[in-house]
Amino acid sequence: TVKDGQRVFDLRSQAGQSDLGRGGRTGTWGYNGALLGPTLRATRGERVVVNITNGLGEDTTVHWHGMHLPARMDGGPHQPIRPGATFSPQWRIDQPAATLWYHPHPHESTERQVYRGLAGMFLIDDPATDVKSLPHEYGVDDVPVIVQDKEFDGDGQFDENGRFGSDIGILGDTLLVNGTPNPYLEVTTELVRLRLLNGSTSRLFNFALSDGRPFTLVGTDGGLLDRPYQVTHLPLSMGERAEVLVAMRPGERVVLRSDPPMPDGDFAERRFHGGGDRFDVLELRAAGTLRPSAEVPATLVDTPRLDPATAAEKRSMTFTSRKINDRKMAHDRVDAVITRDTTEVWTVRNGHSTPHSFHIHDVQFQVLGRTDGGPVPPQLSGWKDTVFLPPHEGYTVIMRFTDFADPSTPYMFHCHVLRHEDEGMMGQFVVV
């Protein structure tokens, strides 16, 4: 609803029960329902307010992953919502059209709360950075696809223990798409746009189509790319998003699947970190006749490139065990003080052999290069807020910190393997 020129959303985090095909009711958590939450949507320039009521028996927060907003509204560990309390963050949307998401971020309980089902999408519209001819009809040819893995115990409840021998947290053998087991999508148009979110707590995906046909990558975390890319595989780590277009022929069926994300990994990576796992994700079932879709344009949006020569500061962050630069998260320690309206270049690197990722709040970054000198793939060519750090590898990224300064409220950067984050692989920065 829109009230006094503000777009108002109401979210209530609560416990419930879901039928996930495990012979009964699985205890799950959701916003305004038993599992996941509504898709929120707002347009650039709008003021939004979200009234969040905590209907759980423990503290929670709601973090706007990918959103550019003041630190006090960010929903990180510094904005806990006590049981029964309501928190109403508000801010003005000011960033390109993008597929963002929201999820809890309470100190040391993020993995468990996300795993139980607290997550939803937040779509940003912006005519200036969108392409009108791309599929746009929500739920028809423009479809959110939240992919999450779950492990069930013998009673059909979520098993939260984590795989034996695994160093990365819970890995499930069952996939849910938008909270649904064995999902399919009825496609009624020649082109369907899937807004993919890896909403898993620690599983990597490597999306492909069952017959190996190429599909079109048009967007990543922070918005649309400069141009479309034809790809046959799309790796997506925890918290990352991608927008892809799949071309369908009348009456056919094709399965979006996930191939092994680390096929060349060592035994531990393949067996204990899910690197060798494959899944069927979502079956696409085309109707007998399909509504024509517009051609995909040869160029999409014109993204200004940040220039490393303008960087005011260079920093290096190395991720090992549960630490960043040998330090675990500490509430009373600020790891980086950043001057507003400056650009910084960070080298983010995985210093050992367990998979990690780098995610930063408030800003979107651009990838300048790989630490091993290799090429930057299409899925890292646009605005990003999260990037996978393969064992012993990393990236140089550039980002600009604008608009919001608050010396007393930190933002977070961390590994998005949520167990790692909970166990201390997180740092804090303030913009002053």
Q: How far, in Å, CA of 293 to CA of 196, rounded?
A: 20
Q: In whole angstroms, what is the distance from residue 222 CA to residue 241 CA? A: 9
Amino acid at 289: T
In the complex, what is the shortest distance from the CB of residue 77 to ligand C2O, in angstroms, rounded to a whole number? 9
Give the residues lining the site for Cu ion (CB under 5 A): 65, 356, 361, 415, 417, 420
Helices then strands, each counted (H, E), the chain: 3, 32
**Residue 356 partner contact from Cu ion, ligand C2O, none using kind-dependent CB cut-offs of 5 to 8 Å:** Cu ion
CB of 382 to ligand C2O, least distance (A): 18
Output the CA–CA distances (angstroms, integers) from residue 43 to 92, 96, 197, in the order listed: 9, 9, 20
> What is the C-alpha to C-alpha distance for residues 372 and 388, in angstroms, rounded to an integer?
14
* Residue 150 interacts with, from ligand C2O, Cu ion, none (CB under 5-8 Å by kind): none
In the bound state, the residue with its beta carbon closest to ligand C2O is 65
C-beta of 110: minimal distance to ligand C2O in Å? 8
CA distance 230 to 223: 17
Q: Which does 412 bind (CB under 5 to 8 A by kind): ligand C2O, Cu ion, none?
A: ligand C2O
Task: Give the nearer residue to ligand C2O in terms of CB position, either 195 or 257.
Answer: 195
Verify binding: residue 420, ligand C2O, rule CB under 6 A: no
Q: Which two tokens stand for residue 229?
A: 């890319």
Q: Is residue 414 involved in binding ligand C2O (CB under 6 A)?
A: yes
Q: Tokens 């819970």 — which residue?
A: 170
User: Which of ligand C2O, Cu ion, none is residue 239 near (CB under 5 to 8 Å by kind)?
Assistant: ligand C2O
Segment 60-89, which members bind ligand C2O (CB under 6 A)?
63, 65
Q: Which token pair is 32?
A: 């305004």
* Least Cβ distance, residue 63 to Cu ion (angstroms): 5
Burial 163-198 (b: 16+ CB within 10 A, else e): beebbbbbbbeebbbbbbeebebebbbbbbbbbbbb
Specify the residue, 198 or 350, whose C-beta has the smaller distance to ligand C2O: 198
Contact partner at residue 417 from Cu ion, ligand C2O, none, CB < 5 to 8 Å by partner kind: Cu ion
Q: Check residue 384 for interaction with ligand C2O (CB under 6 A).
A: no
* Footprint on this chain of ligand C2O (rule: CB under 6 A): 63, 65, 103, 105, 239, 359, 361, 412, 414, 416
